[in-house]
Structure 1
Amino acid sequence: MKVRTEVDSEDIPVLGHRGFRGSLENTMPAFRRALRYANGIEFDVRTTKDGKLVAHHDGTFKSEEGAFRVNEVSLPMLRKLHPLGPLVPEVSEVLSLDAALLNADVKEREVVEPLVNIIERRKAIERTIFSADEPETVTTLLRECPDCRVGLSIVDYRSMAWLFKTGGLYSVHVPIDVVSYIGYRPFITLLRVLRRRKLRVYLWNYRMDELLWVPRLIHLVDAVISDDPARLRKVFRCSSKVPLW
């Protein structure tokens, strides 16, 4: 894969990370706001006790009544107990959005089959990338839908060990935070190796300053999953070309 030496930032797809990360993340207001600035959205998928697929990152949530597991309460109870109440959307609602790209981050193996089914019914397969950070979930996705675009999210060294042992991956979702563990130059080398292996690189962020790091790395990635697409687009607009540091 040829490495770009000059990058027009408008050529790089931007997805809103949980829409916008923050108090309203993984809600329809966050997704709609993100789509004012981004090409698409990234959202997390879990299942409730009654089998409803919802956009929710953590496996648990807290309310005045106590702590609850998402998969141990029904959707009506989830919306009654959850601090965000009815703002917690079903995946079917998310799929109704006019997004060019969707990244469904699968948090439980149990959601793979029903998630693929609903996305197929909605004729959204061609605009959806499935990802997971558990190797077993990635394997299940590849087996359930061989024609789907499936990516692995790197979250620890185990992810890296497993990455090069499997075939069929479409993308690798790499956190900027890896820079703080291995250093800048080794991180650049890693991104180049991934792209030489014909893997798409989706850059995301956990605790780093994406406005500082994305411009440094954008020439080596295929998409950015942004915590704040509005601010990132402003950075892009500062120059017609993004300088490569």
Structure 2
Amino acid sequence: MSHALSIRPATAPVGPAALTGGRAPAAAHTPAGPPRIVAHRGGALLAPENTMAAFRAGLAAGARTLECDVRLTRDGHLAVHHDDTITRMAAPTSVRTRGRVADLTRAQLEQVELRGGHRIPFLEDVLALAGAAGASVYIEVKVAAAAEPVARMIREMRTGEAAHAGDAVISFHPDALQVVGRILPDVDRSYLVHWTRRAAFDVIESVGARWLGARIDGIRAGAVTEAHRRGLRVNVWTVNSHRQLSRALASGADTVTTDDPHWAARRLGLGSAAH
């Protein structure tokens, strides 16, 4: 049986953003409580990534936040798929095994059989599932052109009191985050980086984001402390080993993205990924 890691103070779940006119918040952020667990691609070690089976497995493991990747189809739909092509995930027996998501229509993608007999879902499917479970969603915009339709879909589907609480749009593309901010200023945005260089903070401030999303093995010493001093929250990805989880805790990260939320919760001694 795995022993729980000792937990240093991190952040409580974050509510609606209340962003401030293109500037990062000035007030310092003080973490309180263990990090929240985010199910990467639904829980990619629990079921094939970015499938409805993975998202259901992530929720069943207790995750209250799901992460998914979104790409724009040729006819303007939002496919939940990480790669720019279907090659890696398509089953050998699929009627279509190759092709770029951007070059295919929704109808064509719906014909694609993924490994294990799964199908490519669309963003509305994931939002509906999360909404029914009371869970939040981190939506990674893989291409800047998808930013506006993603924001509009969130606005259409996530309605009601505190509908956006915990939701976030995340991206490596600053222009995508800027577009989302204009349409949905109350939804958190996270700038993704492989390395926590100081220039990242300038980008975050310029687009008015509130989160830094850093690769766990690319965090420089003191980066999370600096982010908190600036009033930002920090998510680290993708945490799948004891060493990486220990590093995430030591860094002071607010949320931890993992392919196995059940494992992460057990290691943290939470009993479930819910937090």
Q: Matches of 1:224 and 1:81 in 2, distance apart?
A: 32
1:83 is the counterpart of 2:114 = yes
**Aligned pair in 2 of structure 1 residues 188, 210: CA closer, same or farther (>3 Å)?**
farther
Map of 2:22 onto structure 1: none
The structural deviation recorded for 1:132 is 0.4
Q: Which residue of 2 aligns with 1:118?
A: 153
Structure-1 separation of matches of 2:124 and 2:166: 15
Structural mapping, 1:111-190, within 5 Å: 111-122=146-157, 123=159, 124-156=163-195, 160-165=198-203, 166-167=205-206, 168-179=208-219, 187-190=220-223
Partner of 1:101: 136
Tell me which residue corresponds to 1:198. Answer: 231
Instruction: Check 1:160–1:74 CA distance in 2 against 1; reply closer, same or farther (3 A cut).
Output: farther
1:132 and 1:151 in contact (8 A); partners too:
yes
Moved more, 77-86 or 87-96: 77-86
Selected match of 2:268 from 216, 221, 236:
236
Distance 1:8 1:48, change over 3 A: closer
RMSD: 2.6
- Determine the structure 2 residue equivalent to 1:26: 50
Normalized per residue, the structure richer in helix is: 1
SS of the counterpart of 2:152? helix
CA positional deviation for 1:162:
4.2
Whole-Å separation in 2 of the counterparts to 1:156 and 1:215: 18
* Pairing 1:215–2:240 present: no
Q: Report the CA distance shift for 1:66/1:198 in structure 2 as closer, same or farther (over 3 A).
A: same
Displacement of 1:177? 1.6
In the other structure, the counterpart of 1:184 is none
Superposition misfits of 4+ residues, deviation over 3 angstroms: 5-11, 63-66
Tell me the amino acid that sits aligned with residue 213 of structure 2: H
Which string of whole-angstrom CA distances, capped at 9 and with x for unpartnered residues, describes residues 216-245 of structure 1? 432511111111111111212299xxxxxx
TM-score (norm 2): 0.73
The alignment-based identity, stated in percent, is 26
Aligned with 1:232: secondary structure? Answer: helix
Residue 68 of structure 1: how far off its partner (Å): 0.6
Alignment pair present for 1:16 and 2:56: no
Contact 2:52 2:121 in 1 (8 A): yes
Which of the residues 98, 104, 123 maps onto 1:73? 104
How far apart, in 2, do the equivalents of 1:137 and 1:191 lie?
Answer: 23
C-alpha distance in 2 between matches for 1:8 and 1:198: 14
Structure with more contact order per residue of length (Cα contacts < 8 Å, sep ≥ 6): 2
| CA 1:224–1:238: 2 relative to 1, 3 Å | closer
Per-residue deviation, residues 43-97 of structure 1 (Å, max 9, x unmatched):
0111211221121111112255553110111112112235356521111110112
Query: 2:191 corresponds to which letter in structure 1?
Result: L
TM-score, reference length from structure 1: 0.81
1:45 to 70, 73, 98: 70
Query: Partner of 1:169: helix, strand, or coil?
Result: coil
Distance 2:72 2:209 in 1: 24
Q: Identify, as 1 or 2, the structure richer in strand.
A: 1
The worse-fitting range, judged by mean Cα deviation, of 11-20 and 77-86 is 77-86
**Structure 1, unaligned stretches of length 5 or more?**
180-186, 240-245
